[in-house]
Amino acid sequence: MTKIYLYSKWVRVWHAINALSIIILIVTGISMHYSAKENSFIPFDLAVSFHNLFSGLLIFNYLYFIISNLLTKNGKAYQIKRNNFLKKLALQSKYYLIGYFKGDPKPFPISKEMKFNPLQQVTYSVTMYFLVPLVILSGIGMLFPESIIEKFTTATGIQLIAVFHTVIGFLVSLFLIVHIYVASVGKHPLRNYRSIISGYHED
**By residue range, what is the domain housing residue 161?**
3-202
pLDDT tens-digit readout, 94-151? 998 888 888 888 898 888 888 898 999 999 999 999 999 999 999 988 877 666 666 5
Confidence check: pLDDT of 156 > 70: no
- Compute the distance between CA of residue 178 and CA of residue 185 in angstroms, rounded to an integer: 11
Closest CA to 138 of 150, 151, 147: 147
- Compute the distance between CA of residue 82 and CA of residue 80 in angstroms, rounded to an integer: 6
**First CA to last CA across the chain, in angstroms?**
6
| Cβ neighbourhood burial of 63 (10 Å; 0-12, 13-18, 19+) | exposed
Confidence check: pLDDT of 172 > 90: yes
pLDDT at site 150: 63
| Residue 171 vs residue 203, higher pLDDT | 171
Lowest mean pLDDT of 14-18, 41-45, 53-57, 149-153, name the range.
149-153
CB atoms under 10 Å from CB of 153, counted, come to: 5
Closest CA to 181 of 113, 133, 129, 120: 120
**H helices, E strands: number in the chain:** 8, 4
Q: What's the pLDDT band for 68 if we cut at 50, 70, 90?
A: very high
pLDDT tens-digit readout, 81-93? 888 889 999 999 9
pLDDT at site 37: 66
- CATH at 143: 1.20.950.20
Contacts 24+ apart (CB under 8 A), 84-89: 85/118, 88/118, 89/118, 89/119, 89/122
Total domains in the chain come to 1
| Mean pLDDT computed over 157-163 | 79
SS3 at position 202: strand
pLDDT tens-digit readout, 176-198? 998 988 888 766 777 888 889 99
Lowest mean pLDDT of 71-80, 162-171, 190-199, name the range.
190-199
| Residue 76 vs residue 146, higher pLDDT | 76
Mean pLDDT taken over the chain: 87
Q: What percent of the chain has pLDDT over 90?
A: 44
φ/ψ of residue 200, rounded to 5: -105, 130
| Residue 37 vs residue 93, higher pLDDT | 93
